Each structure stands twice: as C-alpha cells, then as structure tokens.
C-alpha cells in the first residue's frame, strides 16, 4: 500500500540498521518525543535490533499521559452534569482521575460520547440546541488546528451551547525543560513529525543552537523511525547539533500556514502543568479573550478545581526519560492497564502501556535481522 508498505520494508530496514551499526563508535541516548513513535519502536522491536550502544529514551509526547489530573477532574465534573453532552477522543475515557474515569461517568448516566473530530462535537451542538455540548480539547500542536477550527465554526454558526475544555500542550518548551534538566542524559531528539507538519521546523533551531543537540524531525512508520535514528547518530558522531527533517513527505520548514493562522487567532500561550512532570512555563495554549465565551472552564466554573497527583506513581520519571517503565516497582503488578496508577499505563501511546503490551515478559525468541 502506498506510504505504508514502503515504510515497513524489511530489506530497506536492514540497510538502515547496517548504516547505524557502521556509524556508531560510542554510547548515545536518543529520546523519541512522541508516544506514537514509542509504540512503533516497541511494536516492531526496533530497540532490540539496534546496537547495544544506542539507547532509546521514551519522551513525554503522549497528550493523554501529560494531561494534568486537575484537568481530568474538571472534565469528570463537567461530564457528570445532566445538561451536558461531553464529547472526547476515545483515549481520554479510561484515564483515571482521583477515583473514577469518564467511562465510569458514562456508566453512571453521564452523556459521554466518543467522537473522531471536534467538528463532530460542533455538529452535535447544532443538532441538540437544548444541551450544553463540551469538547475535551487535548493534545499537542497536532490536534490544535482542528480544535481551533471547531471553536471558530461554533462562533460563526452562533452555537452558544458549544464550549471546549482546553488542555493543549506544546512540544518545544518540553524539550527545553528536558535539555535544561541537570539529570538529563539525552544526546539527541527525534522530534514528532505530526507536530512539525503543523508548526514547521523553525521553532527547534534555537534549541539545537543553544544546546548544540541534534533534533531530527521523524515520522512514525518503522523506516521513518530508523531513518531518524540514523540521522541523529550521524550528527552526533560528526559533532553536529542541527535541526534535520527526516519526514519531508509531511513536513515543510514553514509548517502549515493556514493552520498556524487559525491557531494564532484562537489560542494564546500559557503556563501549563504536565501530569507527572509539573509546571512548564509557556508550554500550553488556552483560548484567547476573544473566544472566552467558548471556554468550558469559565462556563461551568471549574477553573478552581485542583487535584494533587498521587505520589506513588512514577510516570513523571518515565515521561522525563529518567527510568524505563519496567524499572518502576509497580509495573505489571500493582499498575496494569486494568488498574492503572497513571495515564502512561492507559493511553495507547503511553510508554508504560507500550511496555506492558509488548514486553510484559522477556520474549525468549532469539532475535535475527529481517
């Protein structure tokens, strides 16, 4: 299949592995920023096939995982109201709040609906004018344009019963937070391709310059990931620290100007807490004052609702690349997808869920190259 088969070809993968083998002269630790990349790595066993000297650290790029507990609590509070239709991407329904999740709210009679696009939620608002329709606007820069467009459409259609609970997060400040941490071991980054298809690559130039670190914009299919790793290793071995685009079929330097225009109209930068990590300055987006009427936090007066993160869960260390999921004492015993202690075990893109799904036991089968 076009754009799938080519990027899963075992023969081409073998060549990339060989190039990586030939290039590596000493240990390197690379962080793949996006949870989609983590899953691709684990599902395809890419880490098993790399030289032992190349370590992959799994980054914080899973929107479900980093949505702060207080935002989950606000969602649960709003979704429980009898006049509300609460629309969300499916991933968010199983994320544990303090003592329940959105599935639980649904089972208790809340009108919680899975949608595939925020525009579906706008359509619900139009079809059911007597109900308050709230969309849970989570995600990185990738999902933000569609969310922004939904708010614009709601305004243009005069849908006073539509609002959005916004919990957007931004990748570059998170990379900077990791780079500036004294405990960081990361030598190079695989940046999230989909984020860059919206925002372009320009935001990463100052980071690469300031920290002299390779940042390779990388896709999600196995060969995309391998090529990203190869380019990152080559930069490190040659002493370079540059922004490089390994996902040129989707990413342009300037990003998507139409999407960026609507983002600038609808959202403004704000400080944001990341679940398990804490507050990262300037790392989020909220609605601009012009769209304040569509802000669900204001409409339902839940902005003051706060929640303490449970102290036992070590998701924060996982999200910052300080430990691997299976190095956590709760992994696979107390904490499983069935009984998650943190969102990293819930989301299909969470690093803990990926380890649990694909590496729960040491697979005893000998590894051989394609």
Partner 1 sequence: MAEPWTDGTVRPAAAADIESWSCPTPAHPEQRVVMGHGGGGRLSAELVEQLFLPAFGSAASTATPTDAAVLGLPGGGRVAFTTDTYVVRPLFFPGGDIGELAVFGTVNDLAMSGATPLALSTAFVLEEGLELEVLTAVATSMGKAAMRAGVGLVTGDTKVVERGHGDGLYVNTAGIGVVPDGVDIRPGRATPGDVVLVSGPIGMHGIAVLSLREGLEFGTELQSDTAPLNALVAAMLAVDRDVHVLRDLTRGGLATSLCELADTACIGVEFEEASVPVPEAVRAGCGFLGLDPLHVANEGKLVTFVHPERADEVLEAMRSTPEGAGSEVIGRVVEDHPGVVVARTRFGSTRVVDRPLGEQLPRIC
Is 203 near partner 1 (CB under 8 A)?
A: no
Is 338 near partner 1 (CB under 8 A)?
A: yes
Question: Which residues in the 38-67 window bind partner 1 by CB under 8 A?
Answer: 42-46, 48-49, 63-64
Is 86 near partner 1 (CB under 8 A)?
A: no
Is 311 near partner 1 (CB under 8 A)?
A: no
* Interface region with partner 1, contact rule CB under 8 A, candidates 25-33, 72-80, 233-241, 343-351: 343-351
Alpha-carbon separation of residue 145 from 107, 199, 274, 304, 336 (angstroms): 31, 10, 21, 27, 33
How near is the Cβ of 317 to partner 1 at its closest, in Å? Answer: 21
Is 1 near partner 1 (CB under 8 A)?
A: yes
The rounded distance, in Å, linking the Cα atoms of 228 and 230 is 5
How near is the Cβ of 34 to partner 1 at its closest, in Å? Answer: 9
Is 143 near partner 1 (CB under 8 A)?
A: yes
Residues with Cβ within 8 Å of residue 16, at least 6 apart in sequence: 223, 226, 227, 229, 230
Is 155 near partner 1 (CB under 8 A)?
A: no
Alpha helix (H) ranges present in the chain?
A: 10-23, 35-44, 46-49, 63-66, 69-79, 102-107, 118-127, 144-156, 171-179, 193-199, 205-211, 222-237, 257-266, 296-299, 315-319, 351-359
With respect to partner 1, which residue has the nearer C-beta, 82 or 364?
364
Is 15 near partner 1 (CB under 8 A)?
A: no
Backbone angles phi, psi at 319, to 5 degrees: -65, -25
Residues with Cβ within 8 Å of residue 19, at least 6 apart in sequence: 230
Figure out which of the listed residues 28, 30, 33, 36 binds partner 1, where binding follows CB under 8 A: 36
Give the helix/strand (H/E) hosting 89: none
Q: How far apart are the first and last CA of the chain?
A: 20
Report helix, strand or coil for 191: strand
CB 214 within 8 A of CB 83: no
Is 360 near partner 1 (CB under 8 A)?
A: yes
Is 359 near partner 1 (CB under 8 A)?
A: yes
Figure out which of the listed residues 106, 113, 131, 155 binds partner 1, where binding follows CB under 8 A: 106
Residues with Cβ within 8 Å of residue 361, at least 6 apart in sequence: none
Is 332 near partner 1 (CB under 8 A)?
A: no
Figure out which of the listed residues 59, 60, 104, 214 binds partner 1, where binding follows CB under 8 A: 104
**In terms of C-beta density within 10 A (0-12 exposed, 13-18 middle, 19 or more buried), how is residue 56 classed?**
buried
Is 165 near partner 1 (CB under 8 A)?
A: no
Figure out which of the listed residues 73, 91, 244, 309 binds partner 1, where binding follows CB under 8 A: 91
Site size toward partner 1 (CB under 8 A) is 59
Is 138 near partner 1 (CB under 8 A)?
A: yes
* Interface region with partner 1, contact rule CB under 8 A, candidates 71-79, 125-133, 299-307, 337-345: 337-345
Is 129 near partner 1 (CB under 8 A)?
A: no
Residues with Cβ within 8 Å of residue 34, at least 6 apart in sequence: 59, 61, 62, 190, 192, 193, 194, 195, 220, 349
The rounded distance, in Å, linking the Cα atoms of 39 and 265 is 33
Alpha-carbon separation of residue 69 from 5, 18, 100, 334 (angstroms): 39, 44, 11, 20
Q: Which two tokens stand for residue 147?
A: 């969310």
Is 284 near partner 1 (CB under 8 A)?
A: no
The rounded distance, in Å, linking the Cα atoms of 190 and 28 is 13
With respect to partner 1, which residue has the nearer C-beta, 43 or 212?
43
With respect to partner 1, which residue has the nearer C-beta, 316 or 340?
340
* Interface region with partner 1, contact rule CB under 8 A, candidates 158-166, 205-213, 321-329, 346-354: 346-354
Figure out which of the listed residues 29, 114, 179, 269 binds partner 1, where binding follows CB under 8 A: 114
Is 249 near partner 1 (CB under 8 A)?
A: no
Q: Which positions touch partner 1 (CB under 8 A)?
A: 1, 4, 8, 10, 13, 36, 42-46, 48-49, 63-64, 89-94, 96, 99-101, 103-104, 106-108, 114, 116, 138-140, 142-143, 194, 222, 337-340, 347-349, 356-361, 363-365, 367-370
């Amino acid at each position: 299949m076009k754009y799938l088969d080519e990027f899963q070809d075992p023969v081409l993968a073998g060549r990339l592995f060989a190039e990586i083998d030939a290039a590596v002269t000493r240990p390197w630790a690379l962080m793949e920023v996006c949870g989609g990349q983590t899953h691709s790595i684990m599902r395809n066993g890419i880490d098993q096939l790399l030289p032992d000297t190349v370590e992959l650290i799994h980054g914080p790029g899973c929107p479900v995982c980093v949505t702060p507990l207080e935002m989950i609590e606000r969602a649960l509070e709003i979704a429980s109201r009898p006049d509300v239709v609460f629309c969300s991407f499916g991933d968010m329904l199983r994320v544990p709040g303090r003592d329940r999740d959105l599935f639980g709210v649904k089972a208790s009679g809340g009108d919680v609906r899975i949608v595939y696009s925020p525009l579906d939620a706008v359509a619900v608002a139009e079809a059911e004018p007597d109900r308050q329709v709230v969309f849970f606007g989570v995600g990185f820069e990738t999902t933000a344009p569609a969310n922004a467009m939904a708010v614009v459409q709601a305004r243009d259609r005069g849908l006073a019963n539509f609002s959005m609970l916004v919990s957007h997060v931004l990748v570059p400040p998170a990379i900077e937070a990791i780079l500036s941490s004294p405990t960081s071991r990361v030598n190079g980054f695989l940046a999230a391709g989909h984020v860059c298809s919206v925002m372009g690559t320009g935001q990463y130039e100052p980071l690469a310059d300031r920290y002299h670190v390779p940042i390779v914009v990388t896709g999600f299919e196995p060969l995309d990931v391998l090529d990203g790793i190869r380019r990152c290793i080559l930069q490190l071995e040659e002493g370079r620290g540059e922004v490089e685009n390994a996902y040129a079929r989707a990413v342009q330097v300037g990003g998507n100007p139409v999407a960026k225009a609507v983002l600038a109209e609808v959202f403004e930068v704000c400080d944001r807490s990341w679940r398990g990590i804490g507050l990262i300055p300037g790392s989020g987006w909220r609605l601009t004052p012009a769209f304040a009427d569509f802000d669900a936090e204001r409409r339902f007066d839940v902005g003051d609702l706060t929640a303490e993160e449970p102290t036992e869960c070590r998701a924060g260390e996982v999200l910052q690349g300080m430990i691997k999921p299976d190095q956590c004492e709760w992994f696979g015993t107390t904490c499983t997808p069935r009984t998650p202690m943190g969102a990293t075990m819930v989301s299909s893109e969470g690093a803990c869920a990926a380890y649990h799904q694909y590496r729960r036991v040491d697979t005893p089968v000998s590894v051989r190259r394609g």
